Amino acid sequence: KKSLLTPKTILADVINNDARTTSTGVGVGNNNSGTLTRGIDNDDDDVPALLDHTPSYSGNAINGNLPGNDRDNADSEPIFRVRSRTAASSTPNYESLDYEVCENTLFQEEQRKSLTERFSLRKDIIRWIIFIQIGIITALIACTIDIIIEELSELKYLFLMNSVESNVPKSDITGGDLVVPFLYWILLSVLPVAFGAAMVTYIEPITAGSGIPQVKSYLNGVKIPRIVRIKTLAVKAIGVITSVVGGLAGGKEGPMIHAGAVVAAGISQGKSTTFVKDFRVFKAFRDDHEKRDFVLGGGAAGVSAAFGAPIGGMLFSLEEAASFWNQNLIWRTLVASIISVFTLNIVLSTYHGLNDFTFTGLFNLGKFDQPLKFDYFELPIFMLLGVTGGLLGAAWNSLNTKINGFRKRYIPWKFGKVCEAVVVAMLGVTLACMMIYFINDCRPLGNDPTIHPVQLFCEDNEYNAVAALWFQTPEATVRSLFHDPPGSHKILTLAMFALVYYVLSCATFGLNVSLGVFIPTALVGAAWGRLLAMVTFYLFPETEFLHPGKYALIGAAANLGGVLRMTISLSVILMETTGVETSFFFPLIIALISAKWVGDYFNEGIYDTQIEVNHVPMLPWEPLPQYKGLRAREILSSPVVCIKLRDSAHYIYNVLKKCDHNGFPVVDDVKGVRRSEGRVCGIVLRSQLIVILLKSLYVENSHFWLPNTTIQTFRDVYPRYPSIKSVRKLDDKINYTVDLAMFMNPSPVRVNAHDSVPRIFQIFRALGLRHMLVINNENRIAGIITRRDFIYK
């Protein structure tokens, strides 16, 4: 009989005996959605069958390898992995972080020992020091990236301009040979892009993209593998340098946020798992809960360094990234942001030879000389710009998602991904060259803020306005669009530029390169904002309010709002980076909110879309609509794999081997019933159980381990806990006992099977839980709920 118990045979048996089967116990309900229901299929009630009401289901018991079904043997209860079909089959298995502090006896002992005021003060001071370090180191990394990008870009564009000028004689205003400069341009774009894409693809694929969706998911409580490793930081930094120097339509801001998060996660732990080096400091911060707060500070420091906007950085973390907040955290995050901007300012000002420390932020949009004024009749125009931004942003998000879907499907090979990045880089250069070649837009020298104007096809004392847009970094082009005097471009130039960049940025975001979406989005918005002002002025030449820079700024804000769907932080960031007066906050927020509302009508912001497309189980702010009106019993999983308060090491070993759950209720009072019906006394994590087995913390060994075992025993292996495979088979210790009393979390959050789902969702989300136990009126286990149950059932 044992050998016949594979999942398939159980399933077949259940389906064949459907008529005999009656549903029973908790977990009954919601059957149409494929939820598993425990039933009784034969007279051996120690072998619960898994009944699926949709016959196509195939993913219930793990490995099909049930550890025996002999009812006399206490260790022989079947272990099940119960999952909804959607969760099991179509989503990658992201694990969760444990934001709930496990207040077990060891933890409480540590707390008691450190009850002195001096200790708490010391811990607090260390926390502040870590946040300050995060700010400084993030800024130093930002400076390094920025200086390298700036120097290499300068060399590249200077070389290209010289090449243009030597191949197209100044006197030749009708044509000339652009082939050689074009080939050089292609080469200088393809080489760095290919290098960066290869690094990202072959060395650390998690570094692809901006990194913001990953950091956001991490802060929501989803464990994204390798997201905060040193290797990730190194590849990200090189990736972003090569992509920007290669001229791809992207920016360095998103990657800076990721870089800040990695720095924070690294510093706060006082050890490097990659270099196997433990500095034996900051040990008290080695858990997910503490680390999360530092990562948030790191993200904020990254944004602040990127934009030179400390308040914007903090607000960005608040609006976009953080899922959990408290007052102290706001303070520390702000301090990390301020320190980051200050450090960056000192280093870059020194580097650029300024003696008044005025260099703020990597994303230097230049300050408006004159205060930007607006009239009240312009407000509806700003709103219209916002609506346009919302529509364009929604279309961009949807197009980008389609392109990425296509990529995933048709370009699965690594080499193909590198080639694709190269092709997009070549496409960008070709489109730029075509624009320069076909559009004749010459402007008189003198007003142009471009450092190296190109005369290409223009008379003496003129420069080529199209080449000026392309022969610099995208960030410098945004600056030009904000500050160039009126009449610096033709309508056709800006219209083509906005269109080309819109398409290019859409094709670029999603390539296997490290790049952010902020700059291209702002650039497209600035181009069409300025364009609209020019068209209106062309139609109504007597209008006086049409300052092109002002409309470029509103256009940038509207486009950013349409793509990213952030409002508060974006308006503050734009104000901080351009130095506009607080009175201009109103037009900015009008444009941003209109863009967000219009965009939200069609789809989600680009970061959320990416999270959704990758099936990351992110908990939304509110429960999903389909969960309203449900009760806990309709979404829980049961039977639950439980462990007895004093259980055999062998049983625990088997559970960990055969089942991949990460949390197990600890139960007692199991006489006459199965473990899965025991009385709840706590919860224990897989990682804790593995440490217990690895360190042989058995009752029989108590005289050896009791004095030496502290909470540090568990922290030492954080965050890369060994897997169960590293535990030797327990042949000689088969009868040893583990007493979980001092290791388990004795106060897990428990809810009743009748509680409403929206309510338990709020508890789950607010406390950052990983497991929630569902009990009946006698405190016996009725089921278990994890984040997946709030999303996929």
Among 479, 644, 675, 770, binds ligand ATP (CB under 6 A): 770
Q: Specify the residue, 82 or 237, whose C-beta has the smaller distance to ligand ATP.
A: 82
> Does residue 785 interact with ligand ATP by CB under 6 A?
yes
Secondary structure in 3-state letters for 25-61: CCCCCCHHHCCCEEEECCCCCCCCEEECCCCCCCCCC
Q: Specify the residue, 425 or 640, whose C-beta has the smaller distance to ligand ATP.
A: 640
Q: Specify the residue, 641 or 693, whose C-beta has the smaller distance to ligand ATP.
A: 641
Whole-angstrom Cα distance, residue 404 to residue 401? 5
Q: Specify the residue, 235 or 632, whose C-beta has the smaller distance to ligand ATP.
A: 632
Whole-angstrom Cα distance, residue 90 to residue 10? 23
Whole-angstrom Cα distance, residue 385 to residue 374? 14
| Contacting range for ligand ATP; rule: CB under 6 A; set: 157-165, 272-280, 592-600, 779-787 | 779-787
CB of 773 to ligand ATP, least distance (A): 10
Residues between 300 and 359 with contacts to ligand ATP, criterion CB under 6 A: none
Residues 6+ apart with CB under 8 A from 212: 254, 257, 258, 320, 321, 516, 607
The crossing angle, in degrees rounded to 10, of helices 117-167 and 230-246 is 30
Residues 6+ apart with CB under 8 A from 31: 37, 53
Where do we find the tokens 């950052």?
768
Whole-angstrom Cα distance, residue 485 to residue 547? 9
> Does residue 788 interact with ligand ATP by CB under 6 A?
yes
Whole-angstrom Cα distance, residue 299 to residue 212? 9
| Contacting range for ligand ATP; rule: CB under 6 A; set: 180-188, 373-381, 405-413, 657-665 | 657-665
CB of 753 to ligand ATP, least distance (A): 13
| Contacting range for ligand ATP; rule: CB under 6 A; set: 268-276, 494-502, 580-588, 781-789 | 781-789
Among 512, 787, 790, 791, binds ligand ATP (CB under 6 A): 787
Site pattern 50..89 for ligand ATP (x: CB under 6 A): --------------------------------xx------
Q: Specify the residue, 251 or 665, whose C-beta has the smaller distance to ligand ATP.
A: 665
CB of 391 to ligand ATP, least distance (A): 38
Whole-angstrom Cα distance, residue 102 to residue 685? 10
Please state, in angstroms and as integers, the Cα–Cα distance from residue 630 to each residue in 452, 633, 758, 760, 769, following that order.
65, 8, 8, 11, 20
CB of 81 to ligand ATP, least distance (A): 6
CB of 641 to ligand ATP, least distance (A): 4
Q: Specify the residue, 100 or 462, whose C-beta has the smaller distance to ligand ATP.
A: 100
CB of 681 to ligand ATP, least distance (A): 15
CB of 262 to ligand ATP, least distance (A): 22
- Here the tokens at position 727 are 């535990």
- Here the tokens at position 584 are 């201009």
Q: Do 66 and 793 form a contact (C-beta atoms < 8 A)? A: no
CB of 373 to ligand ATP, least distance (A): 53
Q: Calculate ∠ Cα 529-535-538, nearest 5°.
A: 145
Q: Specify the residue, 88 or 481, whose C-beta has the smaller distance to ligand ATP.
A: 88
DSSP 671-726: TTS-GGGSEEEEEEEHHHHHHHHHTT--GGGHHHHTTT--HHHHHTT-SSPPPGGG
Site pattern 626..645 for ligand ATP (x: CB under 6 A): -----------x--xx----
CB of 10 to ligand ATP, least distance (A): 16
Site pattern 101..140 for ligand ATP (x: CB under 6 A): ----------------------------------------
User: How many residues bind to ligand ATP according to rule CB under 6 A?
Assistant: 18
Q: Do 491 and 538 form a contact (C-beta atoms < 8 A)? A: yes
CB of 665 to ligand ATP, least distance (A): 7
DSSP 495-560: HHHHHHHHHHHHHHTTSSSB-BSHHHHHHHHHHHHHHHHHHHHHH-TT-----HHHHHHHHHHHHH
| Contacting range for ligand ATP; rule: CB under 6 A; set: 157-165, 224-232, 241-249, 782-790 | 782-790
CB of 21 to ligand ATP, least distance (A): 20
Whole-angstrom Cα distance, residue 198 to residue 238? 11
- Here the tokens at position 350 are 């020194």
Of 735, 744, 726, 714, the residue nearest 651 (C-alpha): 735
Q: Specify the residue, 584 or 664, whose C-beta has the smaller distance to ligand ATP.
A: 664
Q: Specify the residue, 219 or 465, whose C-beta has the smaller distance to ligand ATP.
A: 219
> Does residue 786 interact with ligand ATP by CB under 6 A?
yes
Q: Specify the residue, 333 or 637, whose C-beta has the smaller distance to ligand ATP.
A: 637
Q: Specify the residue, 220 or 567, whose C-beta has the smaller distance to ligand ATP.
A: 220
Q: Specify the residue, 38 or 550, whose C-beta has the smaller distance to ligand ATP.
A: 38
Residues between 660 and 699 with contacts to ligand ATP, criterion CB under 6 A: 661-664
Q: Specify the residue, 123 or 754, whose C-beta has the smaller distance to ligand ATP.
A: 754
How many helical (H) and strand (E) elements, i.e. helices and strands, does the chain have?
26, 17
CB of 36 to ligand ATP, least distance (A): 9
Q: Specify the residue, 83 or 530, whose C-beta has the smaller distance to ligand ATP.
A: 83
CB of 786 to ligand ATP, least distance (A): 3
CB of 148 to ligand ATP, least distance (A): 39
3 state SS of 153: helix
Site pattern 706..725 for ligand ATP (x: CB under 6 A): --------------------
Q: Do 7 and 60 form a contact (C-beta atoms < 8 A)? A: yes
CB of 383 to ligand ATP, least distance (A): 43
14 phi and psi, to 5 degrees? Answer: -65, -45
Q: Do 134 and 267 form a contact (C-beta atoms < 8 A)? A: yes
Q: Specify the residue, 163 or 786, whose C-beta has the smaller distance to ligand ATP.
A: 786
CB of 78 to ligand ATP, least distance (A): 11
Q: Do 251 and 62 form a contact (C-beta atoms < 8 A)? A: no
Residues 6+ apart with CB under 8 A from 474: 249, 250, 251, 519, 520, 523
Q: Specify the residue, 87 or 161, whose C-beta has the smaller distance to ligand ATP.
A: 87
Residues that bind ligand ATP (CB under 6 A): 82-83, 95-96, 637, 640-641, 661-664, 770, 784-789
